[in-house]
Amino acid sequence: MKPKNKVFIATSIDGFIADRNGSIEWLETYPDINTIDTGYEAFTSDIEALLMGHNTYKTLCGFDIEWPYKKPVFILSNSRSKLEGKFKNDVVLIGGSLSEVLNNIHERGYHQLYIDGGKVIQSFLEKDLVDELVITIIPVILGGGIPLFSMSPKALKYECFKIVHYLDVIAQSHYRRIR
């Protein structure tokens, strides 16, 4: 199967993935969303490993939770030679250019990847490396924060192959890259 990089992420209406304080508490605006299946299990069953930005990893370590992932997780950092945090033994630190990182992960046998973290997703988009995006829009306007998208060198065409409406309040769009 051809290698694929996929994104599954929640944003505000105005396109932020975290608020001005780096908090994602606003994801709980409609807490009932956590009681229903929003496709996360199906999405993760299709991927073979995660590539997560170092900032998202640090946020994860701050949560009062057990290790939540069933697939191997690679943490992308070019500033660290080893990781801190309570999940440091659950993950693999990886660094280098995106092509070096992808080659390294592919050589380990993982080709269907879940790309997570705002800056990391932006870097992948900059290099036209995102094949699918699932964006769940929490209907709140934050007015500022960490954006999902940034300026990138060229327009990239996607098709929306699925839209789901949850609890009559939350929309989720599934996009596939048309090359």
Ligand X SMILES: NC(=O)c1ccc[n+]([C@@H]2O[C@H](COP(=O)([O-])OP(=O)(O)OC[C@H]3O[C@@H](n4cnc5c(N)ncnc54)[C@H](OP(=O)(O)O)[C@@H]3O)[C@@H](O)[C@H]2O)c1
Q: Kindly state whether residue 59 participates in binding ligand X, applying the rule CB under 6 A.
A: yes
Give the SS3 label for residue 99: helix
Measured from the CB atom, the residue of 9 and 156 that comes closer to ligand X is: 9
Give the SS3 label for residue 28: helix
Distance CA 129, CA 144 (A): 26
Q: Kindly state whether residue 55 participates in binding ligand X, applying the rule CB under 6 A.
A: yes
Helix 118-126, helix 54-61: angle, nearest 10: 160
- Determine which residue in the list 119, 137, 140, 172 makes contact with ligand X, applying CB under 6 A: 119
Measured from the CB atom, the residue of 1 and 35 that comes closer to ligand X is: 35
Cβ-based burial of 92 (10 A; exposed 0-12, middle 13-18, buried ≥19) = middle
- Determine which residue in the list 7, 83, 146, 170 makes contact with ligand X, applying CB under 6 A: 146
DSSP output for 70-98: SS-EEEE-SS-SS--STTTTTSEEE-S-H
Distance CA 90, CA 87 (A): 5
Binding-site size, ligand X (CB under 6 A): 24
Q: Kindly state whether residue 98 participates in binding ligand X, applying the rule CB under 6 A.
A: yes
Selection from 152, 149, 158 nearest residue 179 by Cα: 158
Q: How near is the Cβ of 87 to ligand X at its closest, in Å?
A: 14
- Determine which residue in the list 102, 123, 131, 134 makes contact with ligand X, applying CB under 6 A: 123
Q: Kindly state whether residue 137 participates in binding ligand X, applying the rule CB under 6 A.
A: no
Q: Kindly state whether residue 38 participates in binding ligand X, applying the rule CB under 6 A.
A: no
Measured from the CB atom, the residue of 4 and 123 that comes closer to ligand X is: 123
Q: How near is the Cβ of 96 to ligand X at its closest, in Å?
A: 8
Q: What share of the chain is helix, strand, coil (3-state, %, to 5)?
A: 25, 30, 45
Q: Kindly state whether residue 173 participates in binding ligand X, applying the rule CB under 6 A.
A: no
| Site of interaction with ligand X (CB under 6 A) | 9-10, 17-18, 22, 24, 53-56, 59, 76-80, 98, 116-120, 123, 146
